[in-house]
């Protein structure tokens, strides 16, 4: 009995210990559950949501670009693209191999995709190819189970309705390069494009807009189940340009006959650029879609430089168009209209002869007849009298040799030489012969077509320092440009001489005149040599452009304004290796100014008709 009581007592104690242990265990579990489900509930709820909810950035629609009348020049079109996410695909090489069987194997760059995969986060989608056809989208969707991490994304692509006509002004958008990356995560979105040239680059931040975001629920495999919340981004701003799309089309068509040329028209009072064409052009839509290597090589190998905007970046000797600046410099320095020079076809300076373009000479010339007939000898004479530094000072006042503080992207400064410039850059003293050469826009003197248009505008608008612009600013006040401080008398003398260049029977551009007095134009022809003519070549008449290779021919230039009675437009035309300015460039400029005035008249008539009918 005692033994049995002892065993029962031991058992009871052991049972109590086990029960106590179990109670303690359950108490610990309960406490832990309480801690997890009550105390840490918010934390683990957040962690769970983060595991099943993804926050995705949404690319904002890029802002449209229009001409001054609201015609679309750059817009967005729907684009299907295939993307791949590295963390979801497992074997990237195998997946790309499967894609190559479904798409043309050379339609995407596998090496580029692998490179992007290394430099981007594993969850960031990488664009494989854009602009898929509906058949390609269908093939990929049917084979989706065998393509882990691959998806179809619907986005927007930039589209330029007028193609090459506006290419140099608008520029283009293209994929973000490593050099473009910043802390902005939107730059890593698949298919995101930024402005690379022209207006697209100059106003990229304004056109880009702000990204939105989307919260989506995904399963354990990363597949999207549903969209929980969506906040659309802020679209890019709409941008209106000063360009007239119709005039741009007209100018493009006119320049296409030349191998390489540039032309620009601007308003002489407010600086609005109405047309800016560099020929040949290129199709900016190729860059939006992702230009092929072959197309890129073709553009780069083209000897006529289609990617360069020659209006802003082409630096040419201005030839006799530069005589406008020399004439104003001389008049301001005290040379009068009565100052006469006898042109016998050349001048002698030391042991050298400097020839006039007219072999037999022009005879007795004053400043207006010298501009009208483009007498080189007269300008040799006055340049030697006033010196190169005075010429340079007036040239800069007229806008030559500088980049304008405006919205034109990629400008070149050209070159207006001085004595100090030569000493600093070349390390030698300025020579009188260099002044003679500079007087007719040769030698070191270089300018862009845009600068020549600005020079012309400032010379005929009353001497106001107008600056060119491309962007229209709604509600903005008329620009208030400062005076250049040039006497009204000097400006009038030069403007009258430019009128005679076109409308006098001895004018060098007489054949390009506009008969209607209300639309009459003035201007100045120019022909600039691209290589020095030797005495032997001059004697053998080998300087004749018809006898030269294209690349050795002179550049043809013309600057002008219209109408003569109340200047509104300034034009500059440069035809590379086009020969004489009066023969090649002047007719183009005349046609452009006539079209600009005709379009103005047509719109005025439409406005009057609309008002009358209302």
Q: 308, 278 in Cβ contact below 8 A?
A: yes
Burial state string for 483-504 with b = 16 or more CB within 10 A and e = fewer than 16: ebebeeebbebbbebbbbbbbb
pTM value surpassing 0.85: no
Between CA 438 and CA 246 the distance in angstroms is 38
**Which range has the worst mean pLDDT, 211-220, 272-281, 418-427, 501-510?**
211-220
pLDDT in tens, 97-109: 888 878 876 677 7
* pLDDT at res. 474: 66
Containing H/E element for 342?
Answer: strand 341-343
pLDDT in tens, 322-355: 999 999 999 999 999 999 999 999 999 988 999 9
pLDDT at residue 594 tops 90: yes
**Which candidate in 288, 320, 374, 447 is catalytic?**
320
pLDDT in tens, 188-228: 776 678 888 999 999 998 998 887 777 767 665 555 667 67
Structural domain boundaries of the chain?
55-240, 245-607
pLDDT in tens, 73-98: 999 988 788 888 887 887 888 888 88
Q: 259, 101 in Cβ contact below 8 A?
A: no
Question: What is the average per-residue pLDDT within 10-30?
Answer: 72
- Classify domain 55-240 at the CATH superfamily level: Penicillin-binding protein 2a (Domain 2) (3.90.1310.10)
* pLDDT at res. 336: 94
Between CA 585 and CA 453 the distance in angstroms is 14
Closest CA to 513 of 450, 568, 564: 564
Burial state string for 94-112 with b = 16 or more CB within 10 A and e = fewer than 16: ebbeebeebbeeeebebee
- Residue % of the chain over a pLDDT of 70: 86
* pLDDT at res. 97: 82
Question: In terms of pLDDT, which residue wins out, 114 or 369?
Answer: 369
Q: 279, 254 in Cβ contact below 8 A?
A: no
Between CA 288 and CA 285 the distance in angstroms is 5
pLDDT at residue 252 tops 60: yes
Between CA 39 and CA 503 the distance in angstroms is 94
Angle at CA of residue 450, ends 447 and 451, nearest 5°: 45
**Which range has the worst mean pLDDT, 110-114, 264-268, 490-494, 499-503?**
110-114
| Mean per-residue pLDDT of the chain | 86
Containing H/E element for 229?
Answer: strand 224-231
Containing H/E element for 77?
Answer: strand 72-84
Between CA 113 and CA 96 the distance in angstroms is 9
**Which range has the worst mean pLDDT, 135-144, 274-283, 498-507, 508-517?**
135-144
Q: What is the dihedral of CA 475, 479, 480, 484, to 10 degrees?
A: 180
391 pLDDT tier (thresholds 50, 70, 90):
very high
* pLDDT at res. 2: 59
* pLDDT at res. 542: 46
Between CA 580 and CA 557 the distance in angstroms is 8
Strand pairing class (150-159; 173-175) = unpaired
* pLDDT at res. 149: 82
Q: Is 320 a catalytic residue?
A: yes
Residue 161: Cβ within 10 Å count:
14
Q: Output the six-digit token pair for 393.
A: 């000072």
Q: 240, 79 in Cβ contact below 8 A?
A: no
Closest CA to 326 of 233, 448, 455, 215: 455
CATH architecture type of domain 245-607: 3-Layer(aba) Sandwich (3.40)
pLDDT at residue 493 tops 70: yes
pLDDT at residue 497 tops 80: yes
* pLDDT at res. 223: 58
pLDDT at residue 532 tops 70: no
Residue 23: Cβ within 10 Å count:
10
């Amino acid at each position: 009995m005692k033994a049995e009581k002892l065993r029962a007592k031991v058992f009871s104690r052991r049972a109590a210990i086990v029960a106590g242990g179990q109670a303690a265990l359950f108490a610990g579990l309960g406490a832990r559950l309480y801690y997890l489900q009550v105390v840490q509930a918010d934390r683990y709820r957040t962690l769970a949501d983060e595991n099943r909810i993804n926050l995705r950035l949404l690319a904002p629609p890029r802002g449209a670009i229009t001409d001054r009348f609201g015609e679309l020049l750059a817009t967005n079109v729907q684009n299907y693209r295939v993307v791949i996410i590295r963390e979801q695909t497992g074997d990237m090489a195998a997946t790309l191999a499967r894609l190559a069987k479904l798409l043309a194997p050379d339609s995407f760059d596998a090496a580029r995709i692998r490179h992007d995969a290394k430099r981007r986060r594993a969850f960031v989608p990488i664009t494989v190819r854009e602009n898929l056809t509906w058949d390609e989208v269908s093939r990929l969707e049917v084979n989706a189970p065998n393509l882990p991490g691959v998806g179809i994304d619907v986005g927007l692509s930039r589209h330029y309705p007028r193609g090459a006509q506006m290419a140099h002004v608008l520029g283009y958008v293209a994929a973000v390069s490593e050099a473009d990356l910043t802390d902005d995560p939107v730059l890593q979105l698949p298919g995101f494009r930024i402005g690379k040239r022209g207006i697209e680059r100059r106003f990229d931040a304004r056109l880009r807009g702000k990204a939105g975001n989307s919260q989506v629920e995904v399963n354990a495999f990363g597949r999207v189940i549903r969209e929980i919340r969506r906040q659309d981004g802020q679209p890019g701003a709409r941008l209106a340009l000063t360009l007239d799309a119709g005039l741009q089309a007209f100018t493009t068509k006119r320049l296409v006959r030349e191998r390489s040329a540039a032309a620009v028209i601007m308003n002489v009072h407010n600086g609005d650029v109405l047309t800016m064409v560099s020929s040949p052009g290129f199709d900016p839509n190729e860059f939006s879609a992702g230009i092929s290597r072959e197309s890129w090589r073709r553009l780069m190998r083209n000897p006529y430089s289609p990617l360069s905007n020659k209006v802003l970046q082409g630096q040419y000797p201005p030839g006799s168009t530069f005589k406008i600046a020399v004439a104003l410099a001389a008049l301001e320095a005290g040379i009068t209209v009565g100052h006469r020079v006898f042109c016998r076809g050349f001048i002698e300076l030391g042991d050298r002869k400097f020839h006039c373009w007219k072999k037999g000479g022009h005879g007795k010339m004053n400043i207006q007849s010298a501009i009208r007939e483009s007498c080189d000898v007269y300008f040799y004479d006055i340049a030697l009298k006033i010196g190169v530094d005075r010429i340079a000072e007036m040239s800069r006042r007229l806008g030559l040799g500088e980049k304008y503080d405006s919205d034109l992207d990629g400008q070149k400064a050209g070159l207006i030489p001085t004595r100090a410039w030569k000493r600093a850059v070349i390390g030698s003293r300025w020579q009188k012969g260099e002044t003679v050469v500079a007087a007719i826009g040769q030698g070191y003197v270089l300018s862009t077509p845009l600068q020549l248009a600005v020079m012309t505008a400032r010379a005929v608008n009353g001497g106001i320092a107008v600056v060119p612009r491309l962007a229209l600013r709604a509600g903005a006040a008329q620009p208030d440009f400062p005076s250049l401080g040039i006497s009204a008398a000097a400006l009038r003398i030069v403007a009258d001489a430019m009128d005679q260049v076109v409308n006098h029977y001895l004018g060098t551009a007489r054949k390009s005149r506009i008969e209607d007095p209300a639309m009459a134009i003035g201007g100045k022809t120019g022909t600039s040599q691209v290589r020095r003519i030797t005495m032997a070549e001059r004697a053998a008449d080998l300087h004749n452009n018809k006898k030269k290779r294209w690349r050795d021919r002179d550049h043809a230039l013309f600057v002008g304004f219209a109408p003569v009675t109340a200047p509104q437009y300034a034009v500059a035309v440069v035809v590379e290796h086009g020969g004489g300015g009066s023969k090649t460039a002047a007719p183009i400029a005349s046609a452009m100014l006539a079209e600009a005035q005709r379009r103005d008249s047509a719109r005025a008539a439409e406005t009057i008709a609309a008002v009358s009918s209302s």
